[in-house]
Amino acid sequence: MKKAILFGANGYLGRHIAYFLKKNCIEFIPTDIAETSIDNYSNYQRIDVTKKNDLQQLNFNVDYVFAFAGLTGTKSSPEIIEKFTQVNEQGLTNVIESCKNVKNIRIVFPSTRLVYKGVENTLLKEDSEKESKTIYAQNKLACEQLLITSNIDYTIFRICVPYGNLIDEAYSYGTIGFFINKAKNNENITLFGNGKQKRTFTHVSDIAQSIIESIKLDATINDVYNIGSNDALSLLEVANLVALKYTVDVEFIDWPEEALKIESGDTIFDDEKLRKKTNYKYKHSLKKWISEIY
């Protein structure tokens, strides 16, 4: 039986990775910085990846290490930059160091659409131009390079906009969660500018399943992959779908200066590279998913 360590097991993506590790009969140790497991795993361990002594508690004689622990966000200040760098970059460095003497181990790492320079109506390949406008995006690019230049096997997955939830009653997080929460409270959905910037929207189960299917293959070792979907839509198109579902309106507001500075424009993923390796078929449609939520 394959074995794994999962860092960030209490996070949105981490919880879904755990869900599919179980479904695929991969034995794993769930870890996070919190005292307890959100999902009540009996073998959960509290681990702070910034502390080498914490990592020494773990047996790294496993097949996979899922490095899903980290901070997210767009705010910037000297204190935030220092904290993000410590947790995201130093944390991953510590994980890499812990793996260096283990044979046949692979680090699995989630990256983000925010590393790309958006191009209008253009599918972005893995080698498309990069542009990191936030400390989070800078961390992700730095972490990718840490893995690429290490002597440890790795697979990096770039994720655009996830949605959905298989685990609890929260319908979604981030962009989609914001739209739904506004509409469910009978509030109009607000969009900056005209809302025409496009994204690839991927159901979280398609993200987790495609990751699990990919890492079963030796052919995906030491490479970077975009995870795609059946949906490349504008924020306005998605907002209209949610507004129609809950009979609210969409309102346009001016861009706040700070938000405009970090807006990337269209980020639409070309996922041909991953699809050719795995033949994975995305199972979810955003329009159908929105129509079926309560």
Q: Is residue 75 predicted with pLDDT exceeding 80?
A: no
Confidence of residue 78 (pLDDT cuts 50, 70, 90): confident
Average pLDDT of 94-119?
A: 97
Retrieve residue 75's tokens: 């705010």
Q: Give the integer Cα–Cα distance in Å for 40 and 26.
A: 18
- Domain with residues 164-199+231-269+283-292, CATH architecture: Alpha-Beta Complex (3.90)
Q: Is 44 within 8 Å of 105 (Cβ atoms)?
A: no
pLDDT at residue number 172: 76
Q: Is 26 within 8 Å of 1 (Cβ atoms)?
A: yes
Q: Is residue 170 predicted with pLDDT exceeding 90?
A: no
Residue 36: Cβ-neighbour burial (10 angstroms; 0-12, 13-18, 19+)? exposed
Q: Is residue 15 predicted with pLDDT exceeding 90?
A: yes
Confidence of residue 12 (pLDDT cuts 50, 70, 90): very high
Q: Is 228 within 8 Å of 275 (Cβ atoms)?
A: yes
pLDDT tens figures, 37-48: 999 999 999 999
Partners of residue 109 on adjacent β-strands: 156
**What's the mean pLDDT when you consider all of the chain?**
95
Domain ranges of the chain: 3-162+202-226, 164-199+231-269+283-292
Superfamily for 3-162+202-226? NAD(P)-binding Rossmann-like Domain (3.40.50.720)
pLDDT tens figures, 266-277: 999 999 999 999
Q: Is 214 within 8 Å of 224 (Cβ atoms)?
A: no
